[in-house]
A and B are shown apart, each in its own frame.
Chain A
Amino acid sequence: MAKSKSRMSQEVNAGSMADIAFLLLIFFLVTTTIASDKGILNVLPPKLDPNNPPPEIDKNERNIFTILVNANDDLLVEGEYRESADGLDEDIKAFVLNFGAPDEDAQAIFNSLPQSLRAEARRDPESSDHPGEAVVSIKTNRGTSYEKYLEVFDLAKKAYFDIYAERVNLETAEYRALPGNDDAEKALIEKGKEGIPMAISIAEPDKIGS
């Protein structure tokens, strides 16, 4: 009697196999990261037309925030030597929001800014007139490392994104992640940028010392 019983239940219960498979599947679903295309977007200037040279731009020195990076990855920011790029974003932010000599439109922009950003305006006559005029210029050498260049460029972008995000009352990361799929998001992006163009100029690297 006992023998026949054990023969009856020889089959393993496979009902929970599916659960195990699902557990594995969910585990891998959660832990896998698909290589995504993230990076820092840059728009290059149009190519030079030999018959039509670019117009000579007479911008006041005070409206240009110059960052030079040499082949040793040393920085020269507004004529001052720096060893590391730390804190550059704050300096750029202060430069853009200086409002040294705002015209009427710039004053309107200034009035539209939230209190925290208005506090940044130092009204320094030696710094930028207003955000519409301000340009951040990054010049590298052919021997500068790409890593350093990207660090500086990243900080310049951070300064602008910080301003934009603060204007629309978002975290910087949230503002940057706005996909602009619908009108509301587009309006939000535009509201952040309005009157403060992201003017980051990247000069052709020079060849000295490479």
Chain B
Amino acid sequence: MGKFKKKTKTSENIPTSALPDIIFMLLFFFMVTTVLREQEILVEQKIPQATQLQKLQKKTLISYVYIGKPKNTALYGSEPRVQANDALLTPADIVQWVNRERDALPEADRGMITISMKVDKDVKMGPISDVQTELREADARRVLYASVGKVVNN
């Protein structure tokens, strides 16, 4: 009996000092492996600055269009292109794309679809106007010119 008692006394508590390390390792593992943006942007994106920015309330209504010079000029040329989802579109495809995006929304929100245009600074108005003409054609008329805040120095 005496023998047993002595043995149980020696190793009663589990060492917990390694627990934070394990948690940290998990944290780092997920930090490293998480991918926030599943779509790769194929065009250059230097977003212009503006002051009168507005925030949209419902993020689900927003679909993104990226316009800019392709990063891979050897493959796609150096003229500005339009990217939606993860592929480059020609202006003629935009109506179809908008309709697909709209169908993905709940029925009550379909009229409120907003296209966020992320346009590179160096793009000229020509391609943008072409895209807008297509958006009018698709009746997706709410457009958000994505821009970042400008620091005003007085």
Contact = CB atoms under 8 A, between A and B. Distances in A.
Contact of B129 (A150, A157, A158, A205): A205
Contact of B141 (A21, A45, A204): A45
Interface residues of B, number: 45
B141 A40 contact: no
Contact of B123 (A37, A41, A45, A146): A146
Interface stretch (B50-58, B70-78, B84-92, B99-107): B50-58
B2 interface: no
Interface string B40-61: 0000000010111111110100
B23 A21 contact: yes
Contacts of A21: 20, 23-24
**What size tier do the contact residues of chain A reach?**
35 or more
B121 A38 contact: no
Nearest to B114: A41
Contact of B125 (A48, A149, A176): A149
Interface in A150-202: 150-151, 153-154, 157-158, 161, 176-177, 179, 181
A210 B128 CA distance: 13
A116 interface: no
Interface of B: 15-17, 19-20, 23-24, 48, 50-57, 59, 62, 114, 116-117, 119-126, 128-129, 132, 135-137, 139, 141-149
Given A38-B54, A151-B48, 18 more contacts: A14-B17, A14-B20, A36-B55, A37-B56, A37-B59, A38-B147, A38-B148, A39-B53, A40-B50, A40-B145, A41-B114, A44-B135, A141-B125, A145-B121, A146-B122, A147-B122, A150-B145, A154-B52
